[in-house]
Structure 1
Amino acid sequence: MKESSSLKKWRTITYLSIFTGWGLYMLVRKTLPSSMQSLIQHNIYTKDNIGMITSSFSLAYGLSKFTFSFVSDHVSPRRLFISGLLLTSFCCILFPVCNGVAMACVVWFIAGVVQGCGWAPCVILLKTWYSPSQIGTWWSILSAAGNIASALSPLIILYITTMSDWTVSYYLIGIITFVLGCVMVYTIKDSPEEIGIRSAFIQTKEKAAKSSKKEGNWYSVFMIFDLWVVALIYASVYLVNYGVLGWMQLFLVEVAKKSDAMAAASVSVYQVGGMVGNITTGYVSDLLLVKRARLCPRAPVLCLLSLLLVVATHLYRTSAGEDTPEIPWSVITFSVGFLADGMIAIIGLCGMEVAPQHMTGSAHGFVCAIAQFGSVLAGWPLAYVMGQYSWSTAYWLMELVSVSMVIGCLYLLWVMMRSREPVGGTKKH
């Protein structure tokens, strides 16, 4: 069936809008990690204070992302996405006027809640506008929007803080997010049907509801053991990713004795690696998909990434230093970003693939919620280890976590092998 020009036009406009919108969500989210060094240098917050604020955000975001995964099935994804974006911009503008740690935790907690409105609508819109055979690639490219925003964030904030006060960066990013969010009211469409076009691959709500009644209830996701394994792997990846990324600038300045500019550049290199990893692993996992496997068809790619991530995190811990040449250090930083974000790009898909069809949204929300506890641990708990022991101890613990990921991924590989159907298509009994 040939697609109409109107369908292609609005699909492109909608995709570019959510791509920009998701980038803005991430840009606001990264304002705190990117301004961490300035906040500490100006004695506004201590390292423990920032750990508490980031943990409050991560806890709220995890619970919110899980909740809105269910809500998104019953409300307009466009309205949910834009509402969250506008409220996120208000939190960004309010943060500089916070008087004390408690108020900052509350504002950033609220920011975590409304940030949960971002990704679930994106998933719904992708499944609505693209065929199943295209989702893996477009999913990865959309995820890369977050990497682009995260790569630009430290450079933007460093430039603004050198030219003006740190608060200006929050106000500017908040206002830009609000203005573009208002524009997206007119550029995002919930489905082709909204503009009078019928798409052959859209699953109707009646069909989905019928499938749901036939196969079980939403809370059945809690009873799927394989889904718990995926969720724990996801949480481990988040701990490593945010443990490295969230504290990178401070780590490089305090421990490796790098300049502020070099530390900010390293964060950008990490994010560029993450962007490339997002797109590459999504595309490669589509190409290497084990089509005869009913469960975890992306497990081989996931296993390879987890093994390489163990090596990369070890090199990151042992190679940081004042005398480390810039090029080898950039390669290591790029590699950690590539592998960590590469795993994040496809682990969410793995969660959807081990669950029944009618539970894909709930399954994705569940694994994302558990994953956020990894980022919670990367906040205040990791800051506590750094303060009580050392930076090296904290990163050594992350190495152990990355080893546990390999064990989980090998289990998923076993699940995949067990679920493969014979070439003839008939199963042995």
Structure 2
Amino acid sequence: MATDSLRKLQLMVFATMFLGYAMYGYNRKSVSLALPKLMEEGLRKEHAGLIVSSQNMAYAISKFIGGVLSDRLSARRLFAIGLVGTGLATLLFGTADSLALFCGFWFLNGFAQGCGWPSCAKIIRQWYPPSQFGTWWSVLSASSNVSGGLAPFLATFIILNYGWRSSLFFAGSLSIAMGLVSFFTLYNSPTDLGYPSFLENAKKNDGEKPEKTDAKKDGGFSDLLPSPFLWLISAAYCVIMATKTSAVDWGQVYLREELGHSAYVGSTLTSCVESGGFFGGIAAGLVTDWAVKRHDRRLRHNPRVPAAIFFFFCTAVCLHILVFVVDQNTSQFLIAVIGFTLGAAVYGDIAIFGIVSCESAPVHLSGSAHAITSFAANVGATLSGLPFSILAAQFSWKSVFLLLEVICGLVCVLMIICVRIDSRIARHLHKD
């Protein structure tokens, strides 16, 4: 009976995080989906990029802070408050009528968005055993792909029939409602409800000793910074996030403005990137969990890295096809296939980089390690906003995706060279 009750609670907690993070993703991209309409009404490319960058900049800051402070916060409250906050910011954006207000409200949205994933990472680690961590991490992160796959078509329908402001009001209202629900259906840990901790049980089964809690004695934030592996993962995460954000934010603009495709074809690319990301993220978790089980623990390199290299290679190939093969006459089906494959590749890498940054550091520093790599990722997302929109205004959107193709290829080569680098972040703190 106790086991059945615990499984029901696991399902309720996971469903809350899955739906809630999907709402985070829907609101995060709600303005990007409305940008083509705003640009038709006179919004300049540089202004559109400034709006996107204002959100990404705030998201980078708040996600970094949330990761570092995750052990000192109530994750369930942070998650719920962030959902309500991002919904309110979306509603306010829908009432704005000037560039300053657009940037200000979307900055607030990005700041509220930073409450989402650090809370999810903290909660899911408490509710599932370590042997299933990679898989459930990937499944949960795929929730944003579900919303990202449905949102383009839903937003396009609402925008074409009721206007872009109605699309934002709808997204914001859903987020607020889900945030209020999560106050009553989300819990930090099984121990909050009188059940044993999965982490403690796993340590006992493995014969491990309890971990020390003295952060000063065990090392702190500064011990992470000298790690070459952490910087490698951060650089790769930055590039792949810039690629993902550009594909989602500017892919439809590229197809519509420069290649003359319809709004629904543009939405197809965005939707398929997210749909492919759903399967790519889950596949990355399953495959790399299998690789970890077969890995010789005496070797210090992370067995998930070769999969990350493969996904990077696929990303570069998809960008090459998007730049040199896709034109005005390309069928919607081929565009959908390209988008699906690109989404699977970039989201597969996003899942892997998040997982390895957590598991390669000592447990008491895993949140900080993930915060560092996430900050680098959000720097990449910020670069895809204003800087890339300026590049597109001076040259073309095609030049943006060509630049990303070249950078992805270079990072892929760098990772191949460094594939066997010691993956232990702050390795002098690990016990062999």
Which TM-score band (shorter chain)?
A: over 0.9
CA 418–148 in structure 1, closer or farther in 2 if over 3 Å, else same: closer
Aligned: 1:13 with 2:12: yes
Letter in 2 for 1:228: W
Unaligned segments of structure 2, at least 5 residues: 204-208, 426-431
Distance in 1 (CA, whole Å) between partners of 2:162 and 2:318 is 37
Q: What residue number does 1:216 align with?
A: 219
1:256 aligns with 2:242: no
Q: Does 1:233 align with 2:254?
A: no
- The match for 1:285 is 288
TM-aligned CA deviation for residue 298 of structure 1: 0.6
With normalisation by structure 2, the TM-score equals 0.92
Structure-2 change in CA distance of 1:167 and 1:298 (3 Å)? same
Contact persistence 1:237–1:405 (CA under 8 A): no
Amino acid at match of 2:279: V
CA contact (8 A) 2:229 2:424 kept: no
Equivalent AA in structure 1 for residue 26 of structure 2? L
**C-alpha distance in structure 1 between counterparts of 2:80 and 2:48, whole Å:** 28
Partner of 1:149: 147
**Structure 1 position 116 matched with structure 2 position 114:** yes
2:428 paired residue number = none
Give me the whole-angstrom Cα distance separating, in 1, the residues matched to 2:193 and 2:424: 44
Aligned match of 1:24: 23
Residue 199 of structure 1: CA displacement?
Answer: 2.5
In structure 2, C-alpha distance between the alignment counterparts of 1:194 and 1:171, rounded to whole Å: 35
| Deviation sequence 1:138-163 (CA, Å, 0-9, x none) | 11111110011111111111111122
1:344 matched residue in structure 2: 350
Q: 1:311 aligns with which of 303, 311, 317?
A: 317
What do residues 151-193 of structure 1 show as CA deviations (whole Å, max 9, x unaligned)? 1111111111122121111111111211121111110011111
Question: Runs of 5+ in structure 1 lacking a partner?
Answer: 420-426
1:179 aligns with 2:177: yes
Query: In the alignment, residue 33 of structure 1 is paired with which amino acid?
Result: S
Q: Structure 1 runs of 4+ off > 6 angstroms? A: none
Alpha-carbon distance, 1:389 to partner: 1.4
Counterparts of residues 196-211 of structure 1 (less than 5 Å): 196-202=194-200, 210=213
Q: Which residue of 1 aligns with 2:429?
A: none
Whichever residue aligns with residue 99 of structure 2, its letter is V
Residues 35 and 154 in structure 1, CA contact (< 8 A), matched pair in contact too: no
Please name the residue that 1:424 is paired with: none
Indicate the residue corresponding to 2:166 in structure 1.
Answer: 168
> For residues 248-397 of structure 1, what are the structure 2 equivalents within 5 Å?
248-289=251-292, 290-292=295-297, 293-397=299-403
Give the 3-state SS of the residue equivalent to 2:124 in structure 1. Answer: helix
Percent identical pairs in the alignment equals 30
Name the count of aligned residue pairs: 417
**What CA deviation, in whole Å up to 9, does each residue of 1:257-299 have, x standing for no partner?**
1111111122111111111111111111111223524442211
TM-score, normalised via structure 1 length = 0.93
Asked if 2 retains the 8 angstrom alpha-carbon contact of 1:234 and 1:371, the reply is yes
CA RMSD of aligned residues (A): 2.1
SS of equivalent to 2:275: helix
